[in-house]
Chain A
Amino acid sequence: SQTIHQWPATLVQPVGSPLSLECTVEGTSNPNLYWYRQAAGRGLQLLFYSIGIGQISSEVPQNLSASRPQDRQFILSSKKLLLSDSGFYLCAWSVRGGQTQYFGPGTRLLVL
Protein backbone atom coordinates (compact mmCIF):
# COMPACT_ATOMS: atom_id res chain seq x y z
CA SER A 1 0.00 0.00 0.00
CA GLN A 2 1.03 3.58 -0.52
CA THR A 3 2.22 5.83 2.28
CA ILE A 4 3.09 9.50 2.27
CA HIS A 5 5.34 11.09 4.86
CA GLN A 6 5.98 14.70 5.72
CA TRP A 7 8.42 16.24 8.14
CA PRO A 8 8.76 18.01 10.33
CA ALA A 9 5.27 17.84 11.80
CA THR A 10 5.52 21.30 13.34
CA LEU A 11 7.98 24.12 12.91
CA VAL A 12 8.42 27.55 14.47
CA GLN A 13 10.75 29.82 12.53
CA PRO A 14 11.74 33.50 12.78
CA VAL A 15 10.99 35.91 9.95
CA GLY A 16 13.81 35.93 7.43
CA SER A 17 15.01 32.42 8.17
CA PRO A 18 15.20 29.67 5.52
CA LEU A 19 12.76 26.80 5.19
CA SER A 20 12.92 23.24 3.98
CA LEU A 21 9.96 20.87 4.18
CA GLU A 22 10.21 17.35 2.88
CA CYS A 23 7.66 14.92 1.52
CA THR A 24 8.24 11.32 0.47
CA VAL A 25 5.90 8.73 -0.96
CA GLU A 26 6.28 4.96 -0.62
CA GLY A 27 4.65 2.15 -2.51
CA THR A 28 4.19 3.80 -5.88
CA SER A 29 6.29 4.94 -8.82
CA ASN A 30 6.11 8.04 -11.01
CA PRO A 31 3.49 9.79 -8.91
CA ASN A 32 2.23 13.30 -9.45
CA LEU A 33 3.17 15.33 -6.39
CA TYR A 34 1.59 18.48 -5.02
CA TRP A 35 2.24 21.12 -2.35
CA TYR A 36 -0.73 22.95 -0.84
CA ARG A 37 -0.98 25.57 1.88
CA GLN A 38 -3.96 26.01 4.14
CA ALA A 39 -4.17 29.23 6.13
CA ALA A 40 -6.11 29.10 9.39
CA GLY A 41 -9.82 28.60 8.70
CA ARG A 42 -9.28 28.72 4.94
CA GLY A 43 -9.33 26.39 1.98
CA LEU A 44 -6.39 24.70 0.32
CA GLN A 45 -4.22 26.76 -2.01
CA LEU A 46 -2.19 24.85 -4.58
CA LEU A 47 1.43 26.04 -4.52
CA PHE A 48 3.33 23.62 -6.76
CA TYR A 49 2.79 20.41 -8.63
CA SER A 50 5.18 18.02 -10.31
CA ILE A 51 4.72 15.28 -12.88
CA GLY A 52 8.29 14.03 -12.71
CA ILE A 53 11.85 14.54 -11.51
CA GLY A 54 12.90 18.13 -12.05
CA GLN A 55 9.50 19.07 -13.52
CA ILE A 56 7.86 21.66 -11.29
CA SER A 57 4.97 23.97 -12.05
CA SER A 58 4.32 26.97 -9.85
CA GLU A 59 0.77 28.07 -9.26
CA VAL A 60 1.28 31.13 -7.09
CA PRO A 61 4.24 33.53 -7.42
CA GLN A 62 5.79 34.02 -3.99
CA ASN A 63 8.98 33.51 -2.06
CA LEU A 64 8.61 29.72 -2.00
CA SER A 65 10.19 27.20 -4.34
CA ALA A 66 9.89 23.46 -4.84
CA SER A 67 12.20 20.75 -6.05
CA ARG A 68 11.87 17.08 -6.91
CA PRO A 69 15.33 15.53 -6.71
CA GLN A 70 14.02 11.95 -6.74
CA ASP A 71 10.93 10.28 -8.11
CA ARG A 72 9.16 10.05 -4.77
CA GLN A 73 10.64 13.04 -2.99
CA PHE A 74 9.24 16.56 -3.06
CA ILE A 75 10.80 19.48 -1.20
CA LEU A 76 9.37 22.91 -0.42
CA SER A 77 11.87 25.66 0.32
CA SER A 78 12.24 29.31 1.06
CA LYS A 79 15.33 31.47 1.41
CA LYS A 80 13.63 34.03 3.66
CA LEU A 81 10.36 33.38 5.43
CA LEU A 82 7.64 36.01 5.76
CA LEU A 83 4.97 36.24 8.44
CA SER A 84 2.40 35.44 5.75
CA ASP A 85 4.08 32.07 5.13
CA SER A 86 2.55 30.70 8.33
CA GLY A 87 0.08 27.92 7.69
CA PHE A 88 -0.52 24.22 7.33
CA TYR A 89 1.53 22.78 4.47
CA LEU A 90 0.20 19.66 2.86
CA CYS A 91 1.87 17.36 0.38
CA ALA A 92 -0.31 15.15 -1.79
CA TRP A 93 0.21 12.50 -4.42
CA SER A 94 -1.79 10.93 -7.22
CA VAL A 95 -1.02 8.19 -9.70
CA ARG A 96 0.39 9.44 -12.98
CA GLY A 97 -2.55 10.57 -15.08
CA GLY A 98 -5.00 10.08 -12.22
CA GLN A 99 -7.18 12.64 -10.53
CA THR A 100 -7.60 11.32 -7.00
CA GLN A 101 -5.18 12.93 -4.58
CA TYR A 102 -4.06 11.56 -1.23
CA PHE A 103 -2.66 13.83 1.43
CA GLY A 104 0.22 13.49 3.84
CA PRO A 105 -0.09 14.37 7.53
CA GLY A 106 1.02 17.96 6.96
CA THR A 107 3.51 20.38 8.49
CA ARG A 108 2.27 23.20 10.65
CA LEU A 109 4.52 26.23 10.20
CA LEU A 110 4.45 29.28 12.42
CA VAL A 111 6.59 32.23 11.40
CA LEU A 112 7.25 34.73 14.20
Chain B
Amino acid sequence: QKEVEQNSGPLSVPEGAIASLNCTYSDRGSQSFFWYRQYSGKSPELIMSIYSNGDKEDGRFTAQLNKASQYVSLLIRDSQPSDSATYLCAVENYTGRRALTFGSGTRLQVQP
Protein backbone atom coordinates (compact mmCIF):
# COMPACT_ATOMS: atom_id res chain seq x y z
CA GLN B 1 0.00 0.00 0.00
CA LYS B 2 1.33 3.39 -1.01
CA GLU B 3 1.81 5.79 1.88
CA VAL B 4 0.34 8.77 0.03
CA GLU B 5 -2.10 8.19 -2.81
CA GLN B 6 -3.38 10.55 -5.44
CA ASN B 7 -5.34 10.01 -8.62
CA SER B 8 -2.88 10.64 -11.45
CA GLY B 9 -5.52 12.30 -13.64
CA PRO B 10 -5.61 14.21 -15.82
CA LEU B 11 -8.40 16.11 -14.13
CA SER B 12 -9.94 18.41 -16.71
CA VAL B 13 -12.10 21.37 -15.66
CA PRO B 14 -13.36 24.40 -17.60
CA GLU B 15 -12.01 27.84 -16.85
CA GLY B 16 -13.83 29.42 -13.92
CA ALA B 17 -14.87 26.10 -12.39
CA ILE B 18 -13.80 24.63 -9.06
CA ALA B 19 -11.07 22.00 -9.26
CA SER B 20 -11.04 19.41 -6.49
CA LEU B 21 -7.87 17.43 -5.85
CA ASN B 22 -7.79 14.58 -3.38
CA CYS B 23 -5.16 12.73 -1.39
CA THR B 24 -5.26 9.86 1.10
CA TYR B 25 -2.49 8.77 3.43
CA SER B 26 -1.80 5.63 5.40
CA ASP B 27 0.07 6.83 8.50
CA ARG B 28 -2.58 7.69 11.07
CA GLY B 29 0.02 9.53 13.14
CA SER B 30 0.76 12.10 10.43
CA GLN B 31 0.41 15.67 11.62
CA SER B 32 1.54 17.94 8.79
CA PHE B 33 0.20 18.11 5.25
CA PHE B 34 1.31 20.12 2.26
CA TRP B 35 0.22 20.87 -1.26
CA TYR B 36 2.78 21.71 -3.94
CA ARG B 37 2.27 22.76 -7.53
CA GLN B 38 4.69 21.59 -10.20
CA TYR B 39 4.66 22.99 -13.70
CA SER B 40 6.07 20.75 -16.41
CA GLY B 41 9.87 20.75 -16.27
CA LYS B 42 9.99 22.87 -13.13
CA SER B 43 10.51 22.18 -9.45
CA PRO B 44 7.63 21.97 -6.95
CA GLU B 45 6.47 25.17 -5.33
CA LEU B 46 4.58 25.28 -2.05
CA ILE B 47 0.92 26.28 -2.26
CA MET B 48 -0.12 25.78 1.33
CA SER B 49 0.15 23.69 4.43
CA ILE B 50 -2.50 22.42 6.84
CA TYR B 51 -2.13 20.90 10.28
CA SER B 52 -5.60 20.88 11.86
CA ASN B 53 -8.86 19.28 10.86
CA GLY B 54 -11.11 21.52 8.82
CA ASP B 55 -10.60 24.08 6.09
CA LYS B 56 -7.80 26.54 5.48
CA GLU B 57 -8.23 29.20 2.85
CA ASP B 58 -5.59 31.19 0.99
CA GLY B 59 -6.88 33.24 -1.91
CA ARG B 60 -8.43 30.93 -4.47
CA PHE B 61 -7.06 27.85 -2.70
CA THR B 62 -8.71 25.93 0.13
CA ALA B 63 -7.10 22.94 1.81
CA GLN B 64 -9.32 20.52 3.69
CA LEU B 65 -8.11 17.98 6.24
CA ASN B 66 -9.95 15.07 7.82
CA LYS B 67 -7.57 13.07 10.01
CA ALA B 68 -10.21 10.52 10.99
CA SER B 69 -10.66 9.60 7.34
CA GLN B 70 -6.95 10.14 6.55
CA TYR B 71 -7.92 12.45 3.74
CA VAL B 72 -6.67 15.82 2.57
CA SER B 73 -7.94 17.81 -0.39
CA LEU B 74 -7.23 20.99 -2.29
CA LEU B 75 -9.94 23.10 -3.88
CA ILE B 76 -9.08 25.68 -6.51
CA ARG B 77 -11.84 28.20 -7.11
CA ASP B 78 -12.22 30.15 -10.35
CA SER B 79 -9.70 27.86 -12.07
CA GLN B 80 -7.48 29.54 -14.63
CA PRO B 81 -5.48 28.01 -17.51
CA SER B 82 -2.37 29.06 -15.57
CA ASP B 83 -3.41 26.60 -12.86
CA SER B 84 -2.74 23.72 -15.26
CA ALA B 85 0.03 21.77 -13.55
CA THR B 86 0.66 18.67 -11.47
CA TYR B 87 -0.37 19.00 -7.84
CA LEU B 88 1.62 17.03 -5.28
CA CYS B 89 0.33 16.09 -1.87
CA ALA B 90 2.98 15.65 0.82
CA VAL B 91 2.68 14.22 4.31
CA GLU B 92 5.16 14.34 7.15
CA ASN B 93 5.74 10.90 8.61
CA TYR B 94 6.96 10.83 12.18
CA THR B 95 9.36 7.93 11.78
CA GLY B 96 12.22 9.57 13.60
CA ARG B 97 13.11 11.92 10.80
CA ARG B 98 11.79 15.21 9.52
CA ALA B 99 11.03 14.37 5.93
CA LEU B 100 8.02 14.39 3.66
CA THR B 101 6.44 11.55 1.72
CA PHE B 102 5.01 12.68 -1.57
CA GLY B 103 2.18 11.33 -3.63
CA SER B 104 2.79 10.85 -7.33
CA GLY B 105 0.64 13.89 -8.13
CA THR B 106 -2.55 14.75 -9.97
CA ARG B 107 -2.30 16.48 -13.32
CA LEU B 108 -4.83 19.30 -13.66
CA GLN B 109 -5.87 20.71 -17.01
CA VAL B 110 -7.96 23.88 -17.06
CA GLN B 111 -9.65 24.31 -20.40
CA PRO B 112 -10.06 27.92 -21.65
Which residue numbers of A lie inside 8 Å of B, CB to CB?
32, 34, 36, 42-44, 46, 49, 51, 57, 59, 90, 94, 97-106, 108
Contacts and interface: CB of A to CB of B under 8 A. Distances in A.
Interface residues of B, number: 22
A44 B88 contact: yes
Contact of A105 (B43, B101, B105): B43
Contact of A49 (B92, B97, B103): B97
A94 B98 contact: yes
Given A43-B88, A43-B105, A101 B43 contact: no
B99 A100 contact: no
Contacts of B92: 99
B104 A43 contact: yes
B42 to A, nearest CB: 8
Contacts of B100: 46, 99, 101
Given A43-B88, A49-B97, A57-B97, A103 B102 contact: no
Closest 3 CB pairs of A and B: A43-B104, A44-B102, A103-B43
B99 A102 contact: no
Interface in B34-67: 34, 36, 41-46, 49
Given A90-B44, A103-B44, A106-B43, A43 B49 contact: no
Nearest to A101: B100
5 contacts: A44-B44, A59-B99, A99-B49, A103-B45, A106-B42
A110 to B, nearest CB: 13
Contact of A100 (B42, B43, B49): B49
B68 to A, nearest CB: 21
